[in-house]
Amino acid sequence: MKLGIWFVWLCILFSAAVSANAAEADNRVKPHIAFINPGYGDSGFWKDVSDTMQAAADQFGFGLTIFDSDRDWARMAENANRVFAMDPAPDYIIAVNEHQQGTRIVLEAQEHGIPILMLLNDLTEAQKQRYGRPGKELTQWIATLTPDNERAGFEIARSLVSAARDAKHGRRPGNICLLSLAGDSLTPASLQRLDGLDLALQRYRVLKEQRRLVVNWSFDEAYRRTADWIAKGGCLGAVWAANDAIALGAVKAIEEAGMVAGKDVFVGGLNWSAEGLENVGNGKMTMTHGGHFLAGAWIMVVLKDYLQGVERLRKNPEISFRMQSITPDNIETYKKVLGSRDWDQIDFSQFSLVGKPQQRDYQFGIESRSAEVE
């Protein structure tokens, strides 16, 4: 009887040891990623970034820990400290050059020997010249994924001219008084969008910029500054907005002043937010540019390809992708996916370059011709 009991206990202990070893082996195989999110994790653009990243990470079997910084540079710095103090250390770090914190994080990752990928906001050219580039001087910096913000800024401005022309039934519009509302004066994405705006101002001479204001990506500040401009009698025919929150703040001020957004004043934004989509649908906004929050998923695709030895990433680790404009003409196509925000319905593996030797560049996007929605 005693021998039987001992045999049972030995079996239990052996089974527990096997399970523990299997779990340990699984943890070693499963890459663990730490994402230093500069924004909010429960709302807005950076929630969408985190959500798409999590969906793709789950599909690829990656472990993911997200540190939300709530658009506070001090908290972002604290989160970077938390990441580098993790035990065990993460296998990979994903960071953003927000609040000019990117250089410090890249250099510390290099010092700790932790591979890092930069997302959405890259180091500036001046920072790269001083500290180094991915895969070269900074060997632990393995990839960068950024959207073409300059093109987006240009296309927002162009949409304002097109809307004014359409309101004139195709006739050339007169001069359009433009109020430009920038996100901030430091972030690379903000500066690049303004570069695109400047190109549009050179191309479309009917756009007459009256004032360029920095509103810190804020609905409330955009509303207040637009309302102040109108109250002072400022000429206003269009608003170029660096994101949807800014555009919607301007729309509120326009409507409270007794004007009609989309008829008296044309407003264009960026982010593909749910509110932005609604206002494109009802005609109050000319467009919401974007899709770049899907970079959360795209960076998981890039990491998956890196782990599987895609040669293109070794030769050219700096990847840029085009954003897409949602307008009244194509909004119904996009609403099928964006309306639910159910990112699990997208098979993100289809965007990988693995097994596609003839395809040189990534084709990121969720337009109907490329996204297989289940």
Enter the tokens of residue 207.
């756009």
Q: If DSSP states are collapsed to H, E and C, what string results for the chain? A: CHHHHHHHHHHHHHHHHHHHHHHHHHHHHCCEEEEEECCCCCCHHHHHHHHHHHHHHHHHCCEEEEEECCCCHHHHHHHHHHHHCCCCCCCEEEECCHHHCHHHHHHHHHHHCCCEEEECCCCCHHHHHHHCCECCCECCEEEEEEECHHHHHHHHHHHHHHHHHHHCCCCCCCCEEEEEEECCCCCHHHHHHHHHHHHHHHHCCCEEEEEEEECCCCHHHHHHHHHHHHHCCCCCCEEEECCHHHHHHHHHHHHHCCCCECCCEEEEEECCCHHHHHHHHCCCCCEEEECHHHHHHHHHHHHHHHHCCCHHHHHCCEEEECCEEECCCCHHHHHHHHCCCCHHHECHHHHCCCCCCCCCCCCCCCCCCCCCEC
Taking each helix axis as running N to C, give the angle between helix 274-281 and helix 244-256, from 0 to 180 degrees, rounded to the nearest 10.
Answer: 50
Q: What is the block-wise mean pLDDT of the chain (374 residues), using blocks of 10 residues?
A: 43 42 50 96 91 97 97 92 97 91 94 97 91 94 95 97 85 87 91 97 97 96 98 97 97 98 97 93 95 94 95 88 91 80 90 90 70 36
| pLDDT given for residue 19 in this prediction | 44
| Confidence at residue 170, expressed as pLDDT on a 0 to 100 scale | 61
Task: Count CB neighbours of 131 within 10 A.
Answer: 17
- Would the CA dihedral through 129, 132, 137, 142 be positive or negative? negative
The whole-number pLDDT of residue 274 equals 87
pLDDT at position 163? 94
- Overall pTM > 0.85: no
Q: How far is CA 352 from CA 100, 151, 308, 359, in A?
A: 30, 24, 10, 10
pLDDT of 171: 64
Per-residue pLDDT, 154: 97
- Residue in the block written with tokens 């960068």: 144
- State which fold the 31-147+293-322+342-351 domain adopts: Rossmann fold (3.40.50)
- What's the pLDDT at 365? 84
State residue 23's pLDDT score: 40
- Identify the pLDDT of residue 338: 80
Q: Using an 8 Å Cβ cutoff, are 51 and 344 in contact?
A: no
d(CA 59, CA 56): 5
Q: Which CATH number fits domain 150-290: 3.40.50.2300, 3.40.50.720, 1.10.10.60, 3.30.1490.150?
A: 3.40.50.2300
What is residue 153's predicted lDDT score, i.e. its pLDDT?
A: 97
